[in-house]
Chains A and B, each alone.
Chain A
């Protein structure tokens, strides 16, 4: 600190540096260090609700739940739909979409 003195007055502290009042600091985008890797989360085995359609985890590339370590099992956060709902030619789809069901 530099101290300024004037006879008859209290000495005042004059700071050596002060922020420039008109400068608004802007953060410069710089590469950030990579965050520690989190374990990959696999969905648990998807149960099938459609009749006649059997779940086949191996075909979908999903390991059976029993093969997944317990610490990386995550609860499902999406609605489980069956393949029957997705196949336009299925009776369920035609019923839901108002299409006539022809007699076999």
Chain B
């Protein structure tokens, strides 16, 4: 990720507007929580970007920090790349600090598209699971056009990424200096660097929320650890199995085979349409489910108190799944801190 300024350069102007939050971010910038992955952020501004002008000038000007990065959303006037931080909590705080400075919202703002970057390239299947679970677990159900997912790298000569929710890195700068929890027998080995040279799996969350950042960080942690034998390998595999079973119950398991990410594999052709058909099916299913829930709510005011029968609906199930694994990961991590084996 190309940004030609230091973390301190960014925090200095923000401090005057949100001193407590900036101090908290500065203090915990590299702190990894419970072995989650570090979090990188890119902010694509679809408006004229005027609200960022003072910040951009303070960091050295557009030529230095924006033009150096040729990657951005096709409809964006600018893409501000933020330095990675150790946790979703710090990432959210950092965005809040910027909100204070620029005086306008970054979360849930249709003019701001948030891209959440996670270290480690996920395989095609796990990329599909990342995108699907992000979509269903978000606090907003979105409809897309393919144009919503177009970036300057969609048809890039060397790094064609297509129009996708999940995007690989383009082998740019990569900050490895975050703890990586590695599995060593039954024990945890904390390594001071990530085991990736420069691989990333990014998710174009669109108009995103705090929950989206937390969810993507949890999902990426579980799936990346499952793929690269991190400490949460077993938990990640278990999560993957449960998510696949959930999709199977809803007759959506075929969606996972669609090309949700464009890999460097020559076999991975430019099948935007194949991906978009799968995404549209998922969107239609989720919207239909939301209508069902609303109808149920009107017919039975206390519908949520009715015991679950065969299925509580895919949206509810995904929420429960995310909550279950979020809690389980933290529980096991706390056990480790108490000296036990999770």
Instruction: State the A residues within 8 Å of B (CB).
Output: 2, 14-23, 25, 28, 30-34
Contact = CB atoms under 8 A, between A and B. Distances in A.
B18 interface: yes
Contacts of B24: 30-31
Given A20-B315, A33-B19, A25 B211 contact: yes
Interface string B199-211: 0000000010011
B92 A2 contact: no
A34 B139 contact: no
Contact of B290 (A20, A28, A33): A20
Interface of B (DSSP majority class) = helix
Interface of B: 18-21, 23-24, 89, 92-93, 96, 137-143, 207, 210-211, 214, 287, 290, 293-294, 297, 313, 315-316, 319
A22 B21 contact: no
Of A14, A20, A31, most buried by chain B (CB within 10 Å of CB) is A20
A23 B211 contact: yes
A20 B92 contact: no
Contacts of B287: 18
B11 to A, nearest CB: 14
Contact of A31 (B20, B140, B141, B214): B20
Contact of A23 (B21, B92, B139, B142): B139
Contact of A21 (B137, B143, B210, B315): B315
Given A20-B138, A23-B319, A25-B211, A30 B143 contact: no
B293 A33 contact: no
Contact of B143 (A14, A22, A33): A14
Given A25-B211, A28-B210, A18 B19 contact: no
